[in-house]
Amino acid sequence: MTFLTKLPAEPRTIDEPLAHWAKENPNGEAVMYGPRSWSWAEWNDRVRRAAGGLRELGVGRGDVVAFLDKNHPACVEITLAAGSLGAAHAIVNWRSAGDEVDYAVNDSGAKILFVGKELMPTIEGIRDRLENVEKIIMVTPDGAEGDEYEAWLAASSPLDRPEETSPDDVCLVMYSSGTTGRPKGVMLTHHNMIRHTDNAHEGWGFEDGDKSLVAMPLFHVGGSSYILFSIFDGVPSVMTREPDGGSLAGAIMNGANRTFLVPAVLAQVLQSGEEAVKLFGALKTYTYGAAPMPSPLLRAAMEAWPNTEFMQVYGLTEVAGVITHLLPEAHRDTEHPERLLSAGTVLPEAECRVVDVESGEDVKTGEAGELWFRTPQLMKGYLGKDEETGKVITDDGWFRTGDIGRMDEGGFVYVEDRLKDMIISGGENIYSPEVERVLSEHPAVAEVAVIGVPDDTWGEVVKAVVGLKPGTTATENGIIDFCQQRLAKFKCPKSVQIVEALPRNPTGKILKKDLRAPHWEGRGSQVV
pLDDT at 2: 55
- CA diameter of the chain: 70
> Do 165 and 81 form a contact (C-beta atoms < 8 A)?
no
> Do 418 and 403 form a contact (C-beta atoms < 8 A)?
yes
How far apart CA 475 and CA 345 sit, in angstroms, is 38
Q: Based on the domain organization, do 68 and 213 belong to the same domain?
A: no
Task: For residue 336, give the 3-state DSSP assignment.
Answer: coil
> Do 164 and 61 form a contact (C-beta atoms < 8 A)?
yes
Q: Which helix H or strand E contains 509, and what residues bound it?
A: none
Q: Based on the domain organization, do 43 and 159 belong to the same domain?
A: yes
Q: Based on the domain organization, do 403 and 467 belong to the same domain?
A: no
Q: Based on the domain organization, do 48 and 163 belong to the same domain?
A: yes
Q: Residue 527: how many CB atoms within 10 A of its CB?
A: 10
In a domain, 8, yes or no: no
With CA atoms as reference, report the closest residue to 2 among 347, 518, 466, 465: 347
How far apart CA 61 and CA 82 sit, in angstroms, is 9
In a domain, 4, yes or no: no
Amino acid at 423: I
Q: Based on the domain organization, do 79 and 179 belong to the same domain?
A: yes
In a domain, 525, yes or no: no
How far apart CA 200 and CA 233 sit, in angstroms, is 13
> Do 502 and 467 form a contact (C-beta atoms < 8 A)?
yes
Task: For residue 330, give the 3-state DSSP assignment.
Answer: helix
Q: Based on the domain organization, do 27 and 171 belong to the same domain?
A: yes
In a domain, 475, yes or no: yes
How far apart CA 184 and CA 173 sit, in angstroms, is 9
In a domain, 118, yes or no: yes
pTM here is: 0.85
Q: Based on the domain organization, do 334 and 408 belong to the same domain?
A: no
Amino acid at 7: L
Q: Based on the domain organization, do 288 and 373 belong to the same domain?
A: no
How far apart CA 188 and CA 84 sit, in angstroms, is 14
> CATH number of the domain that 515 lies in?
3.30.300.30
Task: For residue 50, give the 3-state DSSP assignment.
Answer: helix
pLDDT at 4: 58
In a domain, 279, yes or no: yes
How far apart CA 509 and CA 503 sit, in angstroms, is 8
Amino acid at 234: G
Range of the structural domain that residue 40 is part of? 16-189
Q: Per residue of the chain (528 residues), what is the pLDDT tens digit?
A: 455 568 888 999 999 999 999 999 999 999 999 999 999 999 999 999 999 999 999 999 999 999 999 999 999 999 999 999 999 999 998 988 888 899 999 999 999 999 999 999 999 999 999 999 999 999 999 999 899 999 999 999 999 999 999 999 999 999 975 444 578 999 999 999 999 999 999 988 788 899 999 999 999 999 999 999 999 999 999 999 998 889 999 999 999 999 998 887 888 888 888 899 999 999 999 999 876 677 888 899 999 999 999 999 999 999 999 999 999 999 999 999 999 999 999 999 999 999 999 899 999 999 999 999 999 999 999 999 999 999 999 999 999 999 999 999 999 999 987 776 778 787 677 878 889 988 999 999 999 999 999 887 777 899 999 999 999 999 999 999 999 988 878 889 999 999 999 999 877 788 888 898 899 887 644 443
In a domain, 195, yes or no: no
Q: Based on the domain organization, do 486 and 441 belong to the same domain?
A: yes
Amino acid at 192: N
Q: Based on the domain organization, do 387 and 400 belong to the same domain?
A: yes
Name, in order, each residue with C-beta under 8 angstroms of 386's C-beta and a sequence gap of 6 or more.
none
Number of domains in the chain: 4
> CATH number of the domain that 25 lies in?
3.40.50.12780
> Do 115 and 125 form a contact (C-beta atoms < 8 A)?
no
In a domain, 27, yes or no: yes
